Amino acid sequence: MDAGLLGAFGTVTALIAFLAVVVWAYGKGAKPGFDAASRLPLEDEQRRTDDEGDRR
């Protein structure tokens, strides 16, 4: 196996991995999880605000 064939194999493997991540990220099944994750910082901020109100 020469260096050119090994490089081509690595490129094809990287392309397949990239396409798999794109399909996973933009698939319909991933949206609810991403929506929940996008609200986490806001929920954490609300929880901190509520905790500070209890101390006063």
Extended strands (E) in 1-56: none
User: Is the per-residue pLDDT at 51 higher than 70?
Assistant: no
Report pTM. 0.59
Domain region containing 31: 3-55
Give how many domains the chain has, as a whole number: 1
User: Looking at residue 12, what is its pLDDT?
Assistant: 98
User: Is the per-residue pLDDT at 4 higher than 60?
Assistant: yes
Rg of the chain over Cα atoms, rounded to whole angstroms, equals 22
10 Å CB burial of residue 14 (0-12, 13-18, 19+) is exposed
User: Is the per-residue pLDDT at 56 higher than 60?
Assistant: no
What phi, psi does 2 have (nearest 5°)? -90, 175
